[in-house]
Structure 1
Amino acid sequence: MFHDILILFLAFIPSLFARNVDHTEFLQKYGYLPRGSNQVSSESLSEALKNMQRMAGLEETGELDERTKRMMERPRCGHPDVHEEKSSRGKRNTPPIFKWQDKTITYGCKSAGTSTRISLDDLRRTMHQAASQWSELADVEIVESSETNPMIQITAGRAMHYPCRVSFDRQTLAHAFFPPHGQIHINDNVNFVMTNYTERIGGNSLYSVVAHEMGHALGFSHSSDSESIMFAYDTPRKWKFTSEDKNMMRNYYGPKKSSTRSREEDNREDRERDERRKYEKEKEKEREKTREREHEKDDIRPDECRVENPIVVQYRGEYLVFKSQWVWRVSSDWKRLITKAVPIDQLFPGLPNPIDAAVSVGHHLWVFVGEKIHVIYGNRMAHAPLTLSNIGINEKYIDLAYEWHYFNPPAIYIWKGSRYWKLDEKMDHRRVDERYPKPIDLNWGRVPKGVNSAFTYQKEIHFIRRDQVYRMNSSRSVFDVADGYPQPFSSIFAFCPRNEKLTLNSSHYSKNYFSAVVLFTITILTSYF
């Protein structure tokens, strides 16, 4: 009874912290519906939602679905997405309506009387950095000026702030005005941090917000590209100018005379981005072919000592190894084969196969099959399957999942394509942390490409690619593959003939191995990952 009440309470927690957004008012505020209209037809509302979804990079359903509601609740810029002067479908690279005519654009910073969180020094330093970055893109100089009325003026204020008639709410990070007004207003109620990342630990990035608002002050509208600095919503990412941002700046203010190299770099970035997308599509096709081959081989029981791309997970004091429709159990020290391969539904009745990934979450086993997450307690289904969207991942399937025991409680990670997520332990791992997803290359760049699954043994993460195991060494300053790896997957098992066991009990795991260094590493990893 208590367990059921606890589950119900945990499911209710997200609604306690969600921003209370009036969805019609939201659509009016950001230009998708006319202001002051109390009655809106279903057709108008559907079209407005489609336009909003397009700008937010969502599927254009025209319905107020959960993904749309969550996006409406995210922190964002207060500048409208749609203006009377521009169609919501208009391209940002059409001839500009608002721009400065001078080749030198001046700006000034001042701390409003109500500002308590953001110092004048932080504003000046951040504005200088953003101005320098924008100036490098085109034939224009953006410089600080001590004059009374610079072209662009940045201030910080709370709630109702001069000279605006619009009060800051909890969702709005800042807003700005097109030329020739050039005002930038930062919401002093927001807990900003001085970092290049959006939504990092402890607050939103002042740098990314100021750079975004400066784009408005230069005359640019919002972009539907979630990677663009002009994307309206503050989503977790390390921001940088996209090729669209760079071309837009050059179209408005003219290219720099020495811009040939930068254009070549833009083209290179575009090619790399296309190659990544092509790689992910090919990987998805390969995955489907692999699943088809596995279905064809379902009747052939695998050799526990010779297997490619198995899915390994630690659960209830032992390890489970999944392959196709089969599963077998191995002792926690890898010395003993507890049971040979048996059909999955014999050990876990009702569990579909083949599976995509599996990970222990508390006392439960989460098994990922397509969009569904089957939660197992003991060897039975704990309740109806969850979906990836239930936990905040909008994908059709995942590539792998694992837990890392360096943290207490263990951190749980999920990978798909070039991104990864971390489950939020504060939400009892029922949702992903709002700061994710992040690029895999950001923190896991040394992991070999094309890995299929991952598991933890003696606190170290091991990745599997085909029949090879790669152990990662987290005791180093650089998170890298450990010395002596990769090794054949079969060499893990002491019960496999003519195989040497992995040196898991070597000096790498001695109890006296630089305890102070390990403690320091854990502290760094806790703040970094």
Structure 2
Amino acid sequence: MVLLFAFLLVAAATAADPPVDLEEIESYLAQFAGYKKSENTLVASWETEEFNEAVKRFQREVGLEETGRLNEETLTLMKEDRCGITDGGDGDNSQDYQVWTSWFKYSPKRTLSYCITDYTKDLSPSTARRVISDAVRAWTRYGNLNIRYTSSRSCDLKMKWGVRNHGCFSPFDGRGRILAHAFYPTNGDVHFDDDEYWTDRSRSGKNLYYVSVHELGHALGIRHSRVRDSVMYPIYRSYNPNFKLHMDDINAIRKLYRKF
């Protein structure tokens, strides 16, 4: 009994230990899971209901078991590069894909335009345009809409590269972590962090095609998916020469822009 009691004391002490880089984790949860620090100073922040609920929201968004605890798998995913859009893990739990709204809700037109206002330093403008054109086609082949390129800055989907405070309310964070973000209809802006090293058909750097498909999904009204093989999963996946949309992605674009 004495040994058992001692073991339980050690286990309890271990469970109560603060997680590594607690301040960084709290900042991450505040940005991506709506965490607001409790005003109760008598309880360790990582043991509060607010903290545990934020962890659950993050776990829900990335398809993990909702324990509310910072287990190894949760901490590993928090360290991965990702999209800067915050969904907070809310939405209809009956399906994996989540949608916001379509451009059709606000306009009868069936053709959208896109433009690139500022290019990356890592790729030639012609390469960047080709990659983004391919990313556009990844979606239009499954939805009842057309998206065309224009050299005019007056377009529906405005794309650009920038660093840190790049002209919107959501600044980038330097190399790593947040790679890009986009805005839902009818804003349509897509921003890439140019502190990243952007590549085409390479396992080095950050694959522009994959990130472009993901962010265009947001610009067309698709939220994050909990399916890890979906391009709309919030965590970045490296270059795959055999990449194609998951059925979860296809269901989402068809939900918003169903072919008749």
TM-score, length-normalised on structure 1?
0.40
The answer to whether the Cα contact below 8 Å between 1:51 and 1:88 also exists between their aligned partners in 2 is: no
The 1:237–1:52 alpha-carbon spacing in structure 2 relative to 1, beyond 3 Å, is: farther
| Aligned equivalent of 1:107 | 114
1:21 CA drift (Å): 7.5
1:19 CA drift (Å): 9.9
1:165 CA drift (Å): 4.3
Q: Percent identity?
A: 27
Is the helix fraction higher in 1 or 2?
A: 2
CA distance in 1, matches of 2:205, 2:51: 33
- Counterpart residue type for residue 240 of structure 1: K
1:167 CA drift (Å): 3.1
CA distance in 2, matches of 1:161, 1:149: 19
| Aligned equivalent of 1:232 | 234
Q: What does the per-residue CA deviation read over 1:227-247, in whole Å, with 9 as the maximum and x for residues that have no partner?
A: 001000013463321112111
- Counterpart residue type for residue 50 of structure 1: K
1:38 CA drift (Å): 5.7
CA distance in 2, matches of 1:148, 1:237: 30
CA distance in 1, matches of 2:217, 2:87: 13
Task: With a CA cutoff of 8 Å and minimum separation of 6, indicate the structure with the bigger relative contact order.
Answer: 2
CA distance in 1, matches of 2:220, 2:196: 24
- Is 1:194 aligned with 2:200? yes
CA distance in 1, matches of 2:194, 2:22: 20
- Is 1:241 aligned with 2:245? yes
1:205 CA drift (Å): 1.0
- Is 1:130 aligned with 2:135? yes
- Counterpart residue type for residue 247 of structure 2: S
The answer to whether the Cα contact below 8 Å between 2:33 and 2:57 also exists between their aligned partners in 1 is: no
- Counterpart residue type for residue 76 of structure 2: R
Of residues 24, 28, 31, the one that matches 2:30 is 28
| Aligned equivalent of 1:476 | none
The 1:139–1:68 alpha-carbon spacing in structure 2 relative to 1, beyond 3 Å, is: same
Gaps of 5+ in 2: 1-19, 40-44
SS at match of 1:132: helix
Max Rg structure: 1
Matches within 5 A, 1:57-136: 57-82=63-88, 87=91, 89=93, 91=95, 97-101=100-104, 102-111=109-118, 115-136=120-141
| Aligned equivalent of 2:157 | 152
1:98 CA drift (Å): 2.5
| Aligned equivalent of 2:58 | 52
The answer to whether the Cα contact below 8 Å between 1:19 and 1:171 also exists between their aligned partners in 2 is: no
The answer to whether the Cα contact below 8 Å between 2:100 and 2:184 also exists between their aligned partners in 1 is: no
Q: What does the per-residue CA deviation read over 1:32-78, in whole Å, with 9 as the maximum and x for residues that have no partner?
A: 325xx464672222222122112223333211122211111100000
1:194 CA drift (Å): 0.6
1:201 CA drift (Å): 3.2
Q: What does the per-residue CA deviation read over 1:312-344, in whole Å, with 9 as the maximum and x for residues that have no partner?
A: xxxxxxxxxxxxxxxxxxxxxxxxxxxxxxxxx
CA distance in 2, matches of 1:28, 1:90: 26
The answer to whether the Cα contact below 8 Å between 2:214 and 2:231 also exists between their aligned partners in 1 is: yes
CA distance in 2, matches of 1:79, 1:142: 22
| Aligned equivalent of 2:257 | 253
- Counterpart residue type for residue 103 of structure 2: W
| Aligned equivalent of 2:16 | none
1:188 CA drift (Å): 0.8
RMSD value, Cα: 2.7
The answer to whether the Cα contact below 8 Å between 2:224 and 2:232 also exists between their aligned partners in 1 is: yes
CA distance in 1, matches of 2:123, 2:22: 26
- Counterpart residue type for residue 52 of structure 1: F
